[in-house]
Chain A
Amino acid sequence: MSTLKDEKSKTWKSESLPEVGDWRVKGGLAQMLKGGVIMDVVTPDEAKIAEDAGAVAVMALERVPSDIRRDGGVARASDPEMITGIIEAVSIPVMAKARIGHFAEAQVLEALGVDYCDESEVLTPADNEFHINKWGYKMPFVCGATNLGEALRRIGEGASMIRTKGEAGTGDVVQAVTHARQILSDIKKIQRLGDEELMTEAKNLGAPYELVCEIKNTGKLPVVNFAAGGIATPADAALMMQIGVEGVFVGSGIFKSGNPAKMADAIVQATTHYEDADLIAKVSQNLGGAMKGDEVSKLDPSERLEKRGW
């Protein structure tokens, strides 16, 4: 009789799902980003600073999350001219954000040659019910998640990379920690379940059954998992890596700090040597001050970006 264990060699992406751009090729770029830092930039000059500091990719956007938080208004995908300028300025991959559910913005980003689309809660959602069907693109997608069910729904829709939502633009790492721990603990729970319990767990998580089965077999997400949302210091990056993520996004934390080039370099080093406290102590000296930030627990619930999407 066939058991779930026989399926172990199979990786996610059943034959019956639609596909544009091979799964391995799309997920493969995320694998190349592992152990690295992806930095938010708003100009080609910032992109160059990020690349020189050792960023593995840049996220091109019009305003960093802390400015979106401060200034309000509708946050949309960035001006194509700005994105093109950043694409031309650097040789590393360029990511850009589309609003949740705004598949036309994603189409525009793909047309511009963007290497990775972040369907992001940092922008104002365009659809209160549906996320983008991400299978239909050659451009790969990264999506935010607060728990395993949410991560698996996004992967089910075609995301080939997951990041914690955290609470973007605050410089407070607490929600990134909460979400990463939640995802990892949800995975551990599935590994303890019997095969007969998996369908009920899939129902409770609101996640595709096949993916829940795969997690039981492999003990990890089928795609790369980064931390995002509130990382502002080298020690924050090391904390997230030790908890068990595979790389970090740093948004406002770099270009809102006192010395962006130095902060960027220090966070890159702390991400590589996340277990080497001596090195992290050394690179954390004289960074010119981290971003001031906002304590997440003092935010009005309506200001919590992590609540966007489902």
Chain B
Amino acid sequence: MVNKAQVGVLALQGDFAEHIEMLSNFDVDVHKIKNKSQLEKLDGLIIPGGESTTIKKLIDRYDFENAIKEKINHGMSLWGTCAGLICIANKLTEKDPIPMGIIDVEVSRNWFGRQVDSFETNIEFKGITENIKAVFIRAPIVTKVKNNVEILSKLTDGTIVAVKQDKILGTSFHPEISGSSKVHEFFINLTSS
């Protein structure tokens, strides 16, 4: 019998319930992560959408950063969606919050403007055959990538909205509320690889 992948969703703030619901469509064990001791058993972790300043403050408050980095060194996969991408970036164009520096990209917050400028669109995503619906809510974008980072998706104007480095995935949009679980499937395959 093959052991099921253990996938956690960081449940400090944001739409972690939507990620958990998406993951429940797959043959994985899903964990709601509220304390760093729960990271121990994980093969993959998702940092959900939410408010990046709030999530990062709580990551610091409960001392998650080193524990997450330690797990990544031992092969855990990690996916940040929107606020999650902001938290794992190497650098932000803004001064707050201070990102964890896990993926070699520079990210700019609220790139498209305020809530009235939020939108959804269909995009291509490398590794997924069909176009996927992407919901951008006060979304960040990737403004710079280092050579070791693979670009998985761009908007038609060239704006980078999905990136991957080894087993680290970042998306500036929210597959968890799009109704399609294709990116979750992509992440689970990445976790099991």
A interface list, Cβ under 8 A from B? 21-22, 24-26, 28-29, 31-36, 51, 54-57, 87, 91-93, 110, 113, 115-116, 138-140, 268-269, 272-273, 276
- Is B49's CB under 8 angstroms from A92's CB? no
Name, among A29, A91, A139, the residue most crowded by chain B CB atoms within 10 Å (CB to CB): A91
- Is A29's CB under 8 angstroms from B16's CB? no
CB distance from A241 to the nearest CB of B (A): 12
Annotate B33-62 by CB proximity to A: 1 below 8 A, 0 otherwise: 010000000000000011101100110010
Return the 4 tightest CB-CB contacts between A and B, nearest first: A115-B115, A56-B51, A138-B116, A35-B13
Q: Given A91-B94, A272-B13, is A32 in contact with B135 using a C-beta cutoff of 8 Å?
A: no
* Chain A hits for B178, CB < 8 A: 24
* Chain A hits for B11, CB < 8 A: 35
Which B134-182 residues sit within 8 Å CB-CB of chain A? 135-138, 174, 177-178
| B74 is an interface residue with CB less than 8 A from chain A | no
Contacting B116 at CB < 8 Å: which of A31, A54, A139?
A: A139
B interface list, Cβ under 8 A from A? 11-18, 34, 49-51, 53-54, 57-58, 61, 82-83, 94, 96, 109-110, 113-116, 118-120, 135-138, 174, 177-178
* Chain A hits for B58, CB < 8 A: 54, 268-269, 272
Contacting A24 at CB < 8 Å: which of B51, B109, B120?
A: B120
* Chain A hits for B57, CB < 8 A: 54, 268
- Is B51's CB under 8 angstroms from A273's CB? no
* Chain B hits for A28, CB < 8 A: 118, 135, 137, 174, 177
23 pairs from A and B in contact (CB 8 Å cutoff):
A22-B119, A24-B120, A24-B177, A25-B119, A25-B136, A26-B118, A28-B118, A31-B15, A31-B18, A32-B51, A32-B138, A34-B13, A34-B15, A35-B11, A35-B14, A35-B16, A51-B53, A56-B51, A91-B94, A93-B115, A93-B138, A269-B61, A276-B34
A285 to B137, CA, bound (A): 37
Q: Given A36-B51, A93-B115, A140-B115, is A25 in contact with B120 using a C-beta cutoff of 8 Å?
A: yes
With A24-B177, A25-B120, A55-B54 given, name 9 new contacts (CB 8 A).
A25-B118, A25-B137, A28-B118, A28-B135, A32-B50, A35-B12, A36-B14, A93-B138, A269-B58
- Is B54's CB under 8 angstroms from A54's CB? yes
- Is B114's CB under 8 angstroms from A115's CB? yes
- Is A32's CB under 8 angstroms from B116's CB? no
Whose C-beta in chain B lies nearest to the C-beta of A57? B51
CB distance from A238 to the nearest CB of B (A): 13
Q: Given A56-B54, A115-B138, is A31 in contact with B120 using a C-beta cutoff of 8 Å?
A: no
- Is A31's CB under 8 angstroms from B49's CB? yes
Q: Given A28-B177, A34-B17, A272-B34, is A113 in contact with B50 using a C-beta cutoff of 8 Å?
A: no
A21 to B54, CA, bound (A): 26
Q: Given A28-B135, A35-B13, A139-B115, is A22 in contact with B50 using a C-beta cutoff of 8 Å?
A: no
Contacting A31 at CB < 8 Å: which of B34, B54, B177?
A: B177
Q: Given A91-B109, A139-B115, is A32 in contact with B82 using a C-beta cutoff of 8 Å?
A: yes
A92 to B14, CA, bound (A): 13
Contacting B137 at CB < 8 Å: which of A29, A54, A110, A113?
A: A29
A115 to B50, CA, bound (A): 15
CB distance from A27 to the nearest CB of B (A): 8
* Chain B hits for A54, CB < 8 A: 13, 53-54, 57-58
A195 to B15, CA, bound (A): 31
Whose C-beta in chain B lies nearest to the C-beta of A55? B54
* Chain A hits for B13, CB < 8 A: 34-36, 54, 56, 272
* Chain A hits for B177, CB < 8 A: 24, 28, 31
